[in-house]
Amino acid sequence: MNRRFLAAVLAGGLLWSASVPSRADEGMWLYSDPPVKILKQRYGFEPGAAWMEHLQKSSVRFNSGGSGSFVSSRGLVMTNHHVGAEQIAKLSSPGKDLLEAGYLANSQAQELKCPDLELNVLMTLEDVTARVQGSVKSEMDAAAAEKARRAEMSTIEKESTEKTGLRSDVVTLYQGGRYHLYCYKKYTDVRLVFAPEQDIAFFGGDTDNFEFPRYDLDVTFFRAYENGQPARIEHFLKWSPTGPREGELVFVSGHPGNTQRLNTMADLAFQRDRRLPLVLNLLRRLEVLYATYGERTQENKRQSKDDLFGVQNSRKALLGRLGGLQDPAFMGAKQKLEDELRQAVAGSPEWSAAFAQVEQAIDVYGQILDDLYLYERHYAFNSRLFELAQHLARYRVEVGQPNTDRLREYRDSNLESLQQDLFSPAPIYPEFERVKLADSLAMLLEVRGSDDPLVQRILAGKSPRERAAELVNGTRLQDVAERKRLAESGGTGSKDPMVELALLVDPTARKVRKTYDEKVAEPLRQAYAAIAQARFAKFGTELAPDATFTLRLSFGVVKGYLEDGQAVGAFTDFAGLYRRSAEHHNEYPFRLPKRWVERKSRLDLSTPFNFVSTADIIGGNSGSPTVNREGQVVGLIFDGNIQSLVLDYAYSEVQARATSVDSRAITEALRKVYDAGALADELGS
Amino acid sequence: MNRRFLAAVLAGGLLWSASVPSRADEGMWLYSDPPVKILKQRYGFEPGAAWMEHLQKSSVRFNSGGSGSFVSSRGLVMTNHHVGAEQIAKLSSPGKDLLEAGYLANSQAQELKCPDLELNVLMTLEDVTARVQGSVKSEMDAAAAEKARRAEMSTIEKESTEKTGLRSDVVTLYQGGRYHLYCYKKYTDVRLVFAPEQDIAFFGGDTDNFEFPRYDLDVTFFRAYENGQPARIEHFLKWSPTGPREGELVFVSGHPGNTQRLNTMADLAFQRDRRLPLVLNLLRRLEVLYATYGERTQENKRQSKDDLFGVQNSRKALLGRLGGLQDPAFMGAKQKLEDELRQAVAGSPEWSAAFAQVEQAIDVYGQILDDLYLYERHYAFNSRLFELAQHLARYRVEVGQPNTDRLREYRDSNLESLQQDLFSPAPIYPEFERVKLADSLAMLLEVRGSDDPLVQRILAGKSPRERAAELVNGTRLQDVAERKRLAESGGTGSKDPMVELALLVDPTARKVRKTYDEKVAEPLRQAYAAIAQARFAKFGTELAPDATFTLRLSFGVVKGYLEDGQAVGAFTDFAGLYRRSAEHHNEYPFRLPKRWVERKSRLDLSTPFNFVSTADIIGGNSGSPTVNREGQVVGLIFDGNIQSLVLDYAYSEVQARATSVDSRAITEALRKVYDAGALADELGS
């Protein structure tokens, strides 16, 4: 990773477009404001309203944090294996490991119902900026402004839900420069149709993750159901018979999670010096813990491998981001842009003040950082049972309050999703829970020290190991019925030890949450809204907002790149897969599933397998369809290369690339490796 | 690990002998003061002077940090594979991985010379307490006292070296309560005779490390040479034809590295809250780094696996220690003993003051902890090339000073060992160096921040990755001749970028070292000497001193234990090895070497493989012979169980066990798996 990453950052400031108006193929564009002019000028392509609507309504959001698309009229949804993996793990049991073995439903009856998956499809979107901003009066301080805005957003969401029956979210764009109301059709009955073996879906494992060339069949198919039957879908994507060509214009429609391209230097420095190192140290701790737990027995490995994968993936991604921030060339380029902007707005006190406001908020953020992660984001209680207990401890209290006064996740618009999570029948593994909780309690003790009164009450005179065992053995929260009972009756007064712990921690957790919401998030929101406006004023409006896990359209061309002076081609093929496996003696994580070994001779080894394009994507885009001008599926986004990891903070098209599975590889594998001809036939039909 | 460990600590205070006079089989005894009375009373055994001398002179210290023993008249030395692994790795090269493949020299000519291994055999020991303590005058402050004592120790060592030609070390015992002069015969021409494959030597890997039941052939044989011929050895251990019996008294003669059983609560709390968490976080960081580096290619794995093993081993050991310290039952028992002692010495101002002195020193330690690890113990420069550069930057300066004024490692008595290390031809891997150095520079940047002037000079305006590449690509220190040239000419004025970096860091490193030596180590030494005296006064002299990586005698019985109410037997056998491998589908780290699979039918599967005893051991004892009353080898110490990991701070014989390879397994494997009949014949002959 080092050498390859280096080549990108060495090139320095010139490559980084940072936050000036879009050059090249930058931009995760709003469907309400697509880059029509750029596409026409650069590619001679004009997407019409029908083209946009079709792609919009074919796009699916995985509420667990990923993207997908409808690919048949009968509700077939395509996404990545790694997006579906959480559900696939939950559908597994001892002796029946679907992650390892893969799964194919040969009939509708064999399609497996996911315990707690919600899919969203964006049906309508509406600008409600005036209404949200109008709720804030000039005499309000930050806390009051935040409350007023929150109240207005809740009201809008509630009215819309009542009117349309759709999931309605007010989305903050341009850091508060604009607010849009997004209404989603929800699917909560979702069933597993096909998943390949993890060994081919995540071939190369952590080693090849974020690298290219790449050889992964990172695909899974689910089916959305309504009223117990496959959903009838009007808008779905057709399958391209030819796949993409080198140099071809392609589009990516999906839900990029989060970018910080407008962030000021003070914010970036805080990310670099405090937040990313903190999170990375937590991730390393978890990585070692999960790896050692998994190595003890095959069953342990089955229980923990999805968590381990998640941790390794985050570690590698954040290390890439941190590497960018630790590079003076990158930071110098960002500094230069900020200096220019500051100079341009020097005469506007409100805009100038925004930079200081960011610094103040970041200062508070630094003071509460540890508590926020330990108590509110419960890194001190790394346990699914605690997570449930915290919800139960809050549930009745929050739901008993006016909708607008509740914590965001308890508002009416979020309640159904919360309940699905809270009452999920997904299995919980007591031994894994004990190990995770013991280690996180030990970490709390290390960070806060044994003299801390709250720590003493949390540990109750016991060692972290003993206390974790007592809590996990004593709780009844693994029982869904018990959770329902507690949610109804309210957690208060419960004798469940895990709920008692959550109640003990709750005042501290709520306090830091409140400080974060009022003294960090809200001032930052306001300051970035001002900065976004200043940027509009200086650079015009040809600028996409930062990603917010809402539907966006990116575009780019299929194109290789130069690395250390060597050309990296845009495509790999099946032949390369077999070569790469042999280089590593077919050992994990380069081990091929048995089926792939046996059926090698059936395959056309020249079939394109993975390819790269210049489309501007980020985490959350996983599972997005890659489509051509005709709106046909030519690929399936599943990763970006190492050089793309700093796209969080600034776009570059010199080396940063989005990686897709080629549509031709998917059908070739379905037919010849998995005997899934019926599924292949259904695609796009 | 959790459940098993828990059972030990739950039992609470009663089990922990802590620092009261020896009960049970506690004690790493001095050869000058063996536990004659206890052995006679408890086991009816009286070791005579000849018995003691024979065992003493058969015992071998591996200067790299382990133990061993002579097992033939022709210089054959037995130790653990994991003690020899560093040398075995250095004798390997791309395509010739002796760790993986194992090695057997079929003739003297095939015995492979180790690049930089020093063995020591303790020939004489002498009490020099009066002379060392006499050098300190009552008017001296701590710094002056330390200097005076250091000077006297250097003089004693120098005189002894001149007189005897032996390596002479003044050893601090009872935290300064006593000083002994130990004189060692040194062997620096040491050759590899036999090593099994790492897969069987470390069968079960990190997963089974510190666990029992266990199935490891953790043995390696070297041969000491003198004048180009196998050394003629008078004292060597005979081989037991029968092995050990359940309940039998056994002895362990070896070099336990370090215990802190006299440490005060303030010190233990500091270890728990500051030092161990710091080191563990560093270890986790290295574990993730080495694992990901190794997974990229087979060659990377070969380069890094010994380092990875070392890191994982330390991580698991320190987690066990920290777990003990985080347990209120354990700490409560230690607190009780300290309260008793404090009360007993309340009338003695000097002794009472010692407790406060520990607190003061620990306070300073806390202030310099980060700098000490970053700069002087160079965690910020994790690179063999930097380590060499630091020595070269200091070498001429230090050697140019009077012997007594030098840093300890540059004194005449240590110079030969230092040179062996400094001019070692062992290979250095540039890519691994770059990766390690880049990550540690990034950590420095995280810990100190980018505004730190020294950090800015260290990074020289580059990112950690760039800077590491520049340093590793630019240095010539991989060339031994260049190192010799620089050592002669002095590092100052060198244009080698790595030496320049070491010179840049040196003032900071020396400053923190000085503070540590004068304000932490020396006051602690004095305070613990006083506390040791107080303990003598209260509890008598039947107490072994804390371990100091010098020769000690432990004893115990071969004995299983109860764990979660289940009996754990004292012995495993070869049949169990094959069962354990099958449970894990023969996958790494439970993969059996090909030879072991093929030759299974030749083996007597009922051959005892590993066994446990109550002997009091700790890290550094690895490779120690386990002998019976006749002084015959019945086993080879290679590990302790999970419950033994807190032996650092207090002994318990309820569950804590030392783990040995059974002597019968070694000869059975040599003859039937490795066709090494000649070597088996030589053992003890």
DSSP B563-604: ETTEEE-SEEEHHHHHHHHHHTTT-TTSPPPHHHHHTGGGS-
Q: How many angstroms separate the Cα of B539 from the Cα of each of A407, B510, B555? A: 62, 40, 21
Q: Is the pLDDT of residue B424 over 50?
A: yes
Q: Give the pLDDT score at B139.
A: 92
Q: Is the pLDDT of residue A8 over 60?
A: no
The pLDDT of A359-374, averaged and rounded, is 97
Mutate one of B271, B300, B433, B466 to test the A interface: name it (highest A CB count within 10 A).
B466
Chain B positions in Cβ-Cβ contact with residue A316 (cut-off 8 Å): 292
Q: Give the pLDDT score at B309.
A: 86
Whether a cis peptide bond, with omega within 30° of 0, leads into B589 is yes
**Are the beta carbons of B2 and A438 separated by less than 8 Å?**
yes
- Residue A18: pLDDT band (50, 70, 90) is very low
- Whether residue A637 contacts residue A623, with contact meaning beta carbons closer than 8 Å, is answered with yes
Cα gap A675→A16, rounded to integer Å: 46
The residues with which A398 forms a beta bridge, in sequence order, are none
Task: Among B298, B323, B589, select the one facing A584 at the smallest CB separation.
Answer: B298
User: A478 — phi, psi (to 5°)?
Assistant: -65, -15
Question: Whole-prediction pTM value?
Answer: 0.79
Q: Give the pLDDT score at B412.
A: 87
Cα first-last separation, chain A: 41
Q: Give the pLDDT score at B470.
A: 94
Q: Give the pLDDT score at B526.
A: 85
* More confident site: B17 or B635: B635
Q: Give the pLDDT score at B546.
A: 84
Task: Among B3, B327, B438, select the one facing A463 at the smallest CB separation.
Answer: B327
Q: Which residue of B has its CA nearest to A585?
A: B298
Q: Give the pLDDT score at B668.
A: 97
Task: Among A5, A273, A445, select the one facing B449 at the smallest CB separation.
Answer: A273
Q: Give the pLDDT score at B611.
A: 98
Give buried/exposed letters for B213-238 (b at 16+ CB in 10 A, else e): bbbbbbbbbbbbbeeeebbebebbbb
- Whether residue A116 contacts residue A421, with contact meaning beta carbons closer than 8 Å, is answered with yes
The pLDDT of A384-393, averaged and rounded, is 95
Which residues lie below 8 Å from residue B651, measured CB to CB, with a gap of 6+? Answer: B16, B17, B24, B26, B27, B261, B616
Q: Which residue of A has its CA nearest to B588?
A: A295
What are the tens digits of pLDDT across the range A197-244? Answer: 999 999 999 889 999 999 999 999 999 999 999 999 999 999 998 999
Q: How many angstroms separate the Cα of B267 from the Cα of each of A243, B51, B528, B649? A: 67, 39, 11, 11
**Are the beta carbons of A273 and B450 separated by less than 8 Å?**
yes
- Whether residue B549 contacts residue B27, with contact meaning beta carbons closer than 8 Å, is answered with no
Q: DSSP string covering A494-554, please?
A: ---HHHHHHHHHHHHHHHHHHHIIIIIIHHHHHHHHHHHHHHHHHH-S--PPPP-SS-EEE
Q: Which residue of B has its CA nearest to A271?
A: B446
For residue A611, which of A652, A679, A670, A556 has the smallest C-alpha distance?
A556
**Are the beta carbons of B442 and A205 separated by less than 8 Å?**
no
Q: Give the pLDDT score at B2.
A: 24
Q: Give the pLDDT score at A493.
A: 65
Q: Is the pLDDT of residue A491 over 60?
A: no
- Whether residue B437 contacts residue B398, with contact meaning beta carbons closer than 8 Å, is answered with no
Chain A positions in Cβ-Cβ contact with residue B445 (cut-off 8 Å): 326
- Whether residue B611 contacts residue B560, with contact meaning beta carbons closer than 8 Å, is answered with no
Beta strand pairing call for A76-79 and A66-70:
antiparallel
- Whether residue A177 contacts residue A548, with contact meaning beta carbons closer than 8 Å, is answered with no
Q: How many angstroms separate the Cα of B196 from the Cα of each of B13, B201, B302, B307? A: 42, 6, 16, 19
Both tokens of A528, joined, read 């970035």
Task: Categorise residue A218: left if φ over 0, alpha if ψ from -120 to 50, beta otherwise.
Answer: beta
Which residues lie below 8 Å from residue B138, measured CB to CB, with a gap of 6+? Answer: none
Q: Considering chain B, what is the average pLDDT of its residues? A: 90
Task: Among B326, B435, B463, select the one facing A327 at the smallest CB separation.
Answer: B463
**Are the beta carbons of B2 and A435 separated by less than 8 Å?**
yes
Cα gap A449→A436, rounded to integer Å: 19
For residue A644, which of A321, A339, A240, A346 has the smallest C-alpha distance?
A321
Q: Which residue of B has its CA nearest to A456?
A: B328
The whole-angstrom distance between A361's CA and the closest CA on chain B is 19
**Are the beta carbons of B450 and A206 separated by less than 8 Å?**
no
**Are the beta carbons of B465 and A296 separated by less than 8 Å?**
no
* More confident site: B262 or B294: B294
- Determine what percent of chain A is predicted with pLDDT higher than 70: 95
Q: Which residue of A has its CA nearest to B456?
A: A328
Q: Which residue of A has its CA nearest to B442?
A: A326
Mutate one of A369, A448, A463, A587 to test the B interface: name it (highest B CB count within 10 A).
A463
The pLDDT of B27-47, averaged and rounded, is 92
The whole-angstrom distance between A345's CA and the closest CA on chain B is 27
**Are the beta carbons of B288 and A292 separated by less than 8 Å?**
no
The pLDDT of B247-270, averaged and rounded, is 92
Cα gap A286→B245, rounded to integer Å: 43
Q: Give the pLDDT score at B492.
A: 61
Q: Which residue of B has its CA nearest to A3?
A: B465
The crossing angle, in degrees rounded to 10, of helices A430-448 and A298-325 is 40
Cα gap A411→A415, rounded to integer Å: 6
What are the tens digits of pLDDT across the range B144-179? Answer: 888 899 899 999 999 999 999 999 999 988 877 789
Least confident of A4-13, A545-554, B51-60, B619-628: A4-13
How many CA atoms are closer than 13 Å to the CA of A555, on its beta-carbon side?
26
Mutate one of A292, A301, A316, A437 to test the B interface: name it (highest B CB count within 10 A).
A292
Q: Give the pLDDT score at A112.
A: 97
Q: Is the pLDDT of residue B293 over 90?
A: yes
Q: Is the pLDDT of residue B502 over 90?
A: yes
Mutate one of A283, A312, A326, A643 to test the B interface: name it (highest B CB count within 10 A).
A326
What are the tens digits of pLDDT across the range B215-238? Answer: 999 999 999 999 999 999 999 999
**Are the beta carbons of A326 and B463 separated by less than 8 Å?**
yes
What are the tens digits of pLDDT across the range A645-665? Answer: 777 777 767 788 999 999 999
Chain A positions in Cβ-Cβ contact with residue B296 (cut-off 8 Å): 207
Would you list the domain boundaries of chain A?
350-537
Q: Is the pLDDT of residue B11 over 60?
A: no
Cα gap A70→A82, rounded to integer Å: 18
Element (DSSP H or E) covering residue A269: helix A265-270
What are the tens digits of pLDDT across the range B593-622? Answer: 999 999 999 999 999 999 999 999 988 999
- Determine what percent of chain B is predicted with pLDDT higher than 90: 71
Q: Is the pLDDT of residue A17 over 70?
A: no
The whole-angstrom distance between A204's CA and the closest CA on chain B is 9
Q: Give the pLDDT score at A387.
A: 95
Least confident of A137-146, A159-168, A355-364, A434-443: A137-146
Least confident of A16-20, A323-327, B512-516, B532-536: A16-20
Q: Which residue of A has its CA nearest to B282?
A: A281
Cα gap B612→B637, rounded to integer Å: 9
The pLDDT of A447-470, averaged and rounded, is 94
The whole-angstrom distance between B325's CA and the closest CA on chain A is 9
- Whether residue B555 contacts residue B25, with contact meaning beta carbons closer than 8 Å, is answered with yes
**Are the beta carbons of B287 and A285 separated by less than 8 Å?**
no
The pLDDT of B250-269, averaged and rounded, is 92
What are the tens digits of pLDDT across the range B303-326? Answer: 998 899 889 988 998 998 898 899
Task: Among B273, B297, B323, select the one facing A465 at the smallest CB separation.
Answer: B323
* More confident site: B654 or B469: B469
For residue A16, which of A585, A649, A500, A439 has the smallest C-alpha distance?
A649
What are the tens digits of pLDDT across the range A26-84? Answer: 789 999 989 999 999 999 999 999 999 999 999 999 988 899 999 999 999 999 999 99
Q: Give the pLDDT score at B685.
A: 67
The whole-angstrom distance between B263's CA and the closest CA on chain A is 18
Chain B positions in Cβ-Cβ contact with residue A465 (cut-off 8 Å): 2, 5-6, 9, 323, 327
Q: Give the pLDDT score at B13.
A: 25
**Are the beta carbons of B207 and A295 separated by less than 8 Å?**
yes
User: A632 — phi, psi (to 5°)?
Assistant: -90, 145
Q: Which residue of B has its CA nearest to A311?
A: B288
Establish, for the pair of chains A and B, how many residue pairs have beta carbons separated by less than 8 Å: 120
How many CA atoms are closer than 13 Å to the CA of B17, on its beta-carbon side?
19
The pLDDT of A351-378, averaged and rounded, is 95
**Are the beta carbons of A328 and B464 separated by less than 8 Å?**
no
Q: Give the pLDDT score at A94.
A: 83
Q: Give the pLDDT score at A4.
A: 21
Helix (H, G, I), strand (E, B) or coil at A70: strand
Chain B positions in Cβ-Cβ contact with residue A5 (cut-off 8 Å): 465
Q: Considering chain A, what is the average pLDDT of its residues? A: 90
The pLDDT of B515-520, averaged and rounded, is 95
Q: Give the pLDDT score at A20.
A: 38
- Whether residue B146 contacts residue B133, with contact meaning beta carbons closer than 8 Å, is answered with no
CA dihedral B487, B488, B491, B497 (to 10 degrees): -70
The pLDDT of A370-375, averaged and rounded, is 96
**Are the beta carbons of B2 and A450 separated by less than 8 Å?**
no
**Are the beta carbons of B326 and A445 separated by less than 8 Å?**
yes
Cα gap B556→B46, rounded to integer Å: 15
Cα gap B633→B662, rounded to integer Å: 9
- Whether residue A279 contacts residue A285, with contact meaning beta carbons closer than 8 Å, is answered with no
Q: Give the pLDDT score at A404.
A: 83
What are the tens digits of pLDDT across the range B528-580? Answer: 888 887 887 776 556 788 888 999 999 999 999 987 668 999 999 999 999 99
Q: Give the pLDDT score at A174.
A: 80
The pLDDT of B494-521, averaged and rounded, is 95
Q: Give the pLDDT score at B541.
A: 56
Q: Is the pLDDT of residue A11 over 50?
A: no
